[in-house]
Amino acid sequence: MEKIIEAKGLLSKVKKSNRWFGYDFNMNLYRGCLHGCIYCDSRSECYEVGEFEEVKIKGNALEILENELRSKRSTGIIGMGSMSDPYNPYEIKYELTKKSLILMERFKFGVFIITKSDLVLRDIDLLKRVDKCGRAIVGLTITCGSDELSKVIEPKVSSSSERFKALKALSDNGIDAGILLMPILPFINDTEENVRDIVKYAIESKAKFIYPFFGVTLRDKQREFYYDNLEKSFPGLKNKYIARYGKNYSCESDKAKELYALLGRLCDEANILHRMEDINNLFEMNKEFEQLSLF
């Protein structure tokens, strides 16, 4: 289901102390999501999304974005996908992400895209053009080496193997791309085997980075949705979560320390970045560029 809404603004400035993946501005062209991931934090009440499975298309997004980019005194990197996947199924029809990349190229802004969809491959040529004038990097969220497990916890997205293929295609085309290994769900995919499989496929796909979180965050509506799905797919696991984590927001895997160490060792051996400070260095661009008034 879709709904057209009007946005008041698009770009929000990211504080330097909160900068992940090197981006300076955050932007979401859509609200809500159809992926059905059982763990999605964006269902939380604090984000005020409402009917989460109803995707809201920001009908005036491109007009607002053009005006906001024109008004900036200097360029920066725009993060996309923190709340709603920029390559959700409605992107095929509305092309807000594609058209926003055209604007970013025009105004010499860079982009960091978070997605779980291989639809990103449609825009490879655009990403290459943005990368020449700013910076274009893609982070594919991949939490399972197994397609079978992926379809249980992320039922309506591209399979893990499809995302690895997309990662390789991006890399082969000169786009720096990597993996967001998060969230890793306690008692489900927090295993050494899963970590080893993902690193193995990452190497084959020429991933530039892997950034992990060995745990999951849970609160209000998100927790309710997660526990409902645990009861359906992993009977009895809800009670194990309640006993272990109570109502904690951050639920880190009991194996986190060992898994971080394992991932770090495997990534170092394969020359894959895994520390945020190193990943941020990928995004360095000329911050001194002053946009000409003709823009």
Average pLDDT over residues 241-250: 96
In a domain, 142, yes or no: yes
Which residue in 5, 130, 132, 138 sits closest to 69, CA to CA? 130
Give all strands of the β-sheet with 30-31 in edge-to-edge order. Answer: 2-5, 55-58, 30-31
Residue 251 makes CB contacts below 8 A (sequence gap 6+) with 186, 215, 216, 217, 218, 241, 244, 245
In a domain, 253, yes or no: yes
Question: pLDDT category, 259, cuts 50, 70, 90?
Answer: very high
Domain count, the chain: 1
In a domain, 245, yes or no: yes
In a domain, 171, yes or no: yes
In a domain, 291, yes or no: no
CATH of the domain at 6: 3.20.20.70
pLDDT digits (tens, 9 = 90+) for 92-150: 999 999 999 999 999 999 999 999 999 999 999 999 999 998 899 999 999 999 999 99
Q: Which domain holds residue 51?
A: 2-283
Residue 107 makes CB contacts below 8 A (sequence gap 6+) with 69, 70, 72, 75, 291, 295
Average pLDDT over residues 238-266: 97
Q: Are 180 and 211 in contact (CB under 8 A)?
A: yes
Q: What is the pTM of this model?
A: 0.92
In a domain, 289, yes or no: no
In a domain, 292, yes or no: no
Instruction: Give the alpha-carbon dihedral of 166, 170, 171, 177, to 10 degrees.
Output: -90
To 5 degrees, how large is the angle CA 209–CA 106–CA 14? 50
In a domain, 288, yes or no: no
To the nearest whole percent, how much of the chain has pLDDT over 90?
Answer: 79
